[in-house]
């Protein structure tokens, strides 16, 4: 798990006061995203826009640049002095690699003698109980080292969370959905495994492109009916086929619709009257 560190003097720092609370909401959210994605403080334009919508004014990124908290760079924004206060992507990758190796060694040490049967289970029953007691909490203090045993039990548990892939395309679409839902006055959904899996499967299994998903998200959150019913990525995937069909139906020209029968009858009557008038004119001409 990567952490985005915030100074305990942040509240009344001159730059923070100048940027304002709304822009700082964008700053914190973008910082946590960059730490998770290992971008070394770079925030692409599309992610800055997705995270700002509903949280900060349109000028939120500009306020951060003017306050000296962000630098505007090609393709997006860069956190000012990121490397001075935050761990680098390379350091985080190396830490994850070491934890992964420690977890593998711990698993091998625990289960290497499993074939010994009951004698093995008896000799290890108490150490395993002790290891469970010192397991790390779900949200440990990033400044406090995690207590581990010699077998690497806690390392193996923390590694299970660390190796989970965080995909930029999935996170970007989830952020867009959150922002659109929040802009309609609704509470955005939890960023949990269920919603992440739903968005990932929509792309990988259902073969929807990120552009198509983004279009459908914006369309459904602008529709009076659907914006009250699509409030999570799971629901979006569940109703995606219906949403696409509705979008296509609304975009078809009205000429393709079945003609109105009443209008057909009126047109028929007008045609008869026109022919009768034309015949009267012909007869009048013959008499003259």
Please report which confidence band the pLDDT of residue 100 belongs to, taking 50, 70 and 90 as the band edges. Answer: confident
Residue 133 predicted with pLDDT over 70? no
Main-chain dihedrals φ then ψ at residue 42, nearest 5 degrees: -85, 135
CA distances from 199 to 29, 56, 189, 217, 283 (A): 20, 25, 13, 11, 76
Tokens of 194: 């269920």
Would you place residue 87 in the very low, low, confident or very high pLDDT band (cuts 50, 70, 90)?
confident
Q: What does the pLDDT look like over 120-129, one tens digit per residue?
A: 444 444 444 4
Which of the two residues, 236 and 285, has the higher pLDDT score?
A: 236
Q: Look up the pTM and report it.
A: 0.38
Give the mean pLDDT of 246-258: 73
Partners of 43 in beta bridges: 77
Distance of alpha carbon 277 from alpha carbon 47, whole angstroms? 69
Higher pLDDT, 280 or 35: 35
Residue 1's pLDDT is what? 59
Choose among 166, 173, 167, 249: nearest CA to 209: 173
Q: How far is CA 210 from CA 133, 247, 286, in A?
A: 44, 17, 74
* Count of other CB atoms within 10 angstroms of residue 176: 22
Q: At CA 56, angle to CA 30 and CA 3, rounded to 5?
A: 20
Percent of the chain with pLDDT over 70: 65
Closest CA to 33 of 161, 198, 205, 172: 172
Q: Is 38 left (phi over 0), alpha (psi -120 to 50) or beta?
A: left
Mean pLDDT lowest among 31-40, 41-50, 141-150, 276-285: 141-150
Using DSSP, state whether 199 is helix, strand or coil: helix
Reported confidence tier of residue 215, pLDDT bands at 50, 70, 90: very high
When pLDDT is averaged across residues 178-203 and rounded to a whole number, the result is: 92
Give 145-153's long-range contacts (Cβ < 8 A, gap of 24+): 151/106, 151/109, 151/110, 151/127, 152/102, 152/103, 152/105, 152/106, 152/107, 152/109, 153/106, 153/110, 153/128
User: What is the predicted pLDDT for the residue at 104?
Assistant: 76
Ordered by start, the domain boundaries in the chain are: 10-85, 89-162, 168-254
Residue 15 CA to residue 67 CA, distance in Å, equals 5
> For residue 184, is pLDDT > 60?
yes
Q: 168-183 and 193-204 are packed helices; what angle lies between their axes, rounded to 10 degrees?
A: 110
User: Angle at CA 230, nearest 5°, toward 181 and 161?
Assistant: 75
pLDDT digits (tens, 9 = 90+) for 148-176: 444 444 444 444 444 457 889 999 999 99
Higher per-residue pLDDT: 145 or 86? 86
- Sheet with 76-79: strands ordered across: 42-44, 76-79, 70-73
Q: What is the mean pLDDT of the chain?
A: 77
Cβ atoms within 10 Å of 153's Cβ, excluding its own: 21
């Amino acid at each position: 798990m990567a952490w985005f560190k915030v100074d305990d003097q942040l509240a009344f720092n001159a730059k923070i006061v100048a940027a304002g609370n709304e822009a700082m909401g964008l700053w914190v959210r973008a910082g946590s995203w960059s730490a998770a994605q290992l971008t070394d403080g770079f925030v692409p334009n599309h992610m800055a826009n997705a995270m700002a919508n509903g949280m900060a004014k349109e000028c939120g990124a500009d306020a951060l640049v003017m306050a000296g908290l962000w630098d505007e760079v090609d393709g997006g924004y860069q956190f000012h002095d990121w490397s001075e206060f935050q761990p680098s992507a390379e350091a985080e990758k190396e830490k994850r690699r070491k934890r992964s190796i420690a977890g593998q060694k711990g698993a091998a040490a625990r289960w290497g003698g499993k074939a010994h049967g009951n004698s093995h289970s008896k000799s290890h029953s108490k150490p395993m109980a002790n290891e469970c007691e010192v397991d790390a909490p779900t949200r440990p203090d990033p400044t406090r080292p995690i207590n581990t045993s010699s077998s690497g039990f806690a390392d193996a548990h923390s590694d299970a969370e660390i190796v989970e892939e965080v995909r930029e395309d999935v996170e970007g679409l989830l952020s867009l959905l959150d922002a659109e839902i929040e802009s309609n006055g609704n509470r955005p959904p939890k960023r949990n495994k269920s919603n992440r899996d739903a968005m990932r499967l929509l792309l990988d299994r259902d073969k929807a492109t990120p552009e198509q998903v983004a279009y459908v998200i914006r369309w459904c959150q602008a529709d009076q009916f659907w914006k009250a019913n699509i409030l999570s990525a799971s629901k979006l995937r569940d109703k995606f086929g219906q949403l696409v069909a509705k979008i296509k139906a609304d975009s078809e020209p009205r000429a393709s619709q079945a003609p109105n029968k009443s209008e057909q009858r009126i047109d028929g009557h007008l045609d008869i009257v026109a022919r009768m008038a034309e015949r009267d004119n012909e007869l009048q001409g013959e008499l003259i």
